[in-house]
Amino acid sequence: MDLSERGAGEARHPWELVRAQFFRELIQSHVDLSKLNALVDVGAGDGWFAQELLPMLPLSATATCWDINYSSEDLAAMLPERIIRTITRPVNKIATSNATESKSRLVTLLDVLEHIPDDRGFLRDELVPLVGDNGTLIISVPAHPRLFSDHDAALGHERRYRRSELLTRVSEHFTVVESGPLFSSLLAPRALQVILERLGRHAGEQGIGGWDHGRFVSNAAIGALTFDARLGRWAARHRVNLPGLSVWAVCRPHGAA
């Protein structure tokens, strides 16, 4: 969850829950977790997703939440064991001249790149050294520039991406192993929202931290979004060009084994 969206309650939005499950499964299918010694969640917000991933990692692995918006209180807060918060880029201690080194790093960059004015420079100067020579990058961004809405502006988004645009950006430095859509069912509601905004009807913004619709509605939304997410993964595996509200990619450094 973005720090700007933190609410008073502890209930997680169905979108956030399903997205987390989707990326857990995606990571498990692409990363040898037994050889992982570090996770870095870039733009980690409140760190919930990193904590969800921690049980998947070896006991020797750490999960670092890197977010430039952490306050002194965030940095001083008591955290679960092996969870680290920082406002500066973690040093990649995995890089080594030892050809037998088998450890690797997982870097997640989920709905972060759209906040950064110089996205190309960030990928080149920050992500390339962070991922290292043998790591994996999982990235997602909001899709379709024409769907830029009040919600995007409220969250500080610089842009939304065409899928081809995202793949062009990351392919400058990484090999894209798999990519696809996420949350196709949310395209129509977002398109309607944008149309209404252009007609002058601007609704108040409520982030995902404000979810309080009860168990029945939550479970129904989770079920529908879970089916949607599975459809997106199917489309990626079968190279079906299905549009989604988000687009994601699994990336490895050029030349990585």
User: What pLDDT sits at residue 92?
Assistant: 66
For residue 126, what are its two tokens?
Answer: 């920050």
The Cα 151–Cα 12 span in angstroms is: 18
- Order of all β-strands in the sheet with 83-86: 83-86, 62-66, 36-42, 104-110, 136-142, 246-253, 174-182
The Cα 150–Cα 236 span in angstroms is: 29
**Tally of CA atoms within 13 A in the half-sphere of 29 that contains its CB:** 14
User: What pLDDT sits at residue 100?
Assistant: 38
Single-letter code of the amino acid located at 82 = R
Residue 104's SS3 state is: strand
User: What pLDDT sits at residue 101?
Assistant: 47
- Residue 221 burial by CB count (10 A; 0-12/13-18/19+): exposed, middle or buried? middle
Average pLDDT, the chain: 89
Compute the residue count for the chain.
257
- If one counts every other C-beta atom within 10 angstroms of the C-beta of residue 18, the result is 23
Domain extent for 226: 3-94+103-253
User: What pLDDT sits at residue 155?
Assistant: 92
For residue 108, what are its two tokens?
Answer: 């997640």
For residue 129, what are its two tokens?
Answer: 């050294």
The Cα 27–Cα 106 span in angstroms is: 9
Q: State yes or no: pLDDT of 18 exceeds 70.
A: yes
User: What pLDDT sits at residue 129?
Assistant: 94
Q: pLDDT for 47-75, tens place per residue?
A: 999 999 999 999 999 999 999 999 999 99
For residue 202, what are its two tokens?
Answer: 């601007």
The Cα 236–Cα 56 span in angstroms is: 24
User: What pLDDT sits at residue 119?
Assistant: 97
Q: pLDDT for 113-171, tens place per residue?
A: 999 999 999 999 999 999 999 999 999 999 999 999 999 999 999 999 999 999 999 99
Looking at the chain, the whole-number percentage of residues with pLDDT higher than 70 is: 87
User: What pLDDT sits at residue 98?
Assistant: 46
Single-letter code of the amino acid located at 73 = E
The Cα 25–Cα 6 span in angstroms is: 25
User: What pLDDT sits at residue 179?
Assistant: 97
Average pLDDT over residues 95-105: 54
Using alpha carbons, select from 249, 3, 48 the residue that is nearest to residue 131.
249
Q: pLDDT for 187-227, tens place per residue?
A: 999 999 999 999 988 876 655 556 666 788 889 999 999 99
User: What pLDDT sits at residue 213?
Assistant: 66
User: What pLDDT sits at residue 109?
Assistant: 98
Total structural domains in the chain? 1
Average pLDDT over residues 77-100: 76
Confidence grade of residue 23 (pLDDT, cut at 50, 70, 90): very high
Identify the CATH number of the domain in which residue 173 sits: 3.40.50.150
Q: State yes or no: pLDDT of 80 exceeds 60.
A: yes
Q: pTM of this prediction?
A: 0.89
